[in-house]
Structure 1
Amino acid sequence: MKIRIMYDNKPTYLEVPDEDFTLMIDADYEDRLSCAEDKETVTRRSPQEIMDERFNKPDYNNWHKFDRNRGMPKKPFRKDDQAVDETDHMDYFSDNTHEETREKKEEYEYCCEIIRTILKPKHSEPFIAVYLDGMSMTDYAKSVGVSKSAISHRLDTAKKNFKKVFPESSTFPSCHG
């Protein structure tokens, strides 16, 4: 069965086997039955009706609430003797690049702090330089004054120690824990 899921006011279709919906249908039916005054009028709904009520409709309402007035801002009023307004109106839109840069810097500092608490400075500094800053092992080895193989060995040790603390990788950003 295909289920339509709305995201950013655009439909996405998901193919799900019919037997996977039985638990959702039963849970919805029991929930509605317990809340209803007239229990005989409550019937089982289709999976699409459940998805529309629980997810698609609230998502659309939230989207519509915040995005309905977006678009090209109105041009300021001008008199006939004034020159035509040739601006691109970009000054009407907020610029949040400073905020994004600040958030990225805070996340970078947070990651560096975690790495420095877990690893010794001998291992954490090359780890940060190579894996977070994107510096090559050769360049880092030259800047510190040691051989490339020493840096490679330190990075291997850092990875082993890091995996002892975090045995599985996480797909969540650092702000989610």
Structure 2
Amino acid sequence: MKIRVLYEENIKNGHKNYTTIEIPDGDYSVMLDIDYEQRLAEANPEKKEEVKRCETLQEMFDLMNNKEYNHWRRYHRHLGNPKTPYRKDDEVEIDVMDTFADNSQEIERNLQDEYESVCQWIRSTLSKKPEWADAFIAVRINGISIREYATFIGASENNITQKLKRAKQKLRNEIENRQI
């Protein structure tokens, strides 16, 4: 029998990543009874009649998975936007980290703007040979291997290597001419 189990460390950004466990076939009535008794003991006295015994082991694990996920969600749902705490008096302790601004999105935007401006400069410098610019950006900036890029565009690796060498020389000359 295969059972899907959700561990707290397998919840990434709110997405459930289940672990499948192979359990040998057998009678699981003892395990199901223990689970039923535990849930019955944890339930409020007015809701004890709503607690039902699970029929299968997978049903029992699904209940535990939902409980684990809801606990994770309750704890992590507000971490993206910390709020500045409100203080009525000086006796209340404040977690200082909650008051710092999160500028990670601004940093990402700045990096993306810089990337786009470099790509634009490369394309304008190599405007007569756009295939050189595409190869240079893909291999030297984006980190794609020469073999992958050659396969992607349907050219030989030697051809791509030559284009990269010529593009590098042209860009180097452009930089040296600007500094003079």
Q: Give TM class, smaller chain.
A: 0.3 to 0.5
Larger CA Rg, structure 1 vs 2: 2
Give the structure-2-normalised TM-score: 0.45
Give the structure-1-normalised TM-score: 0.45
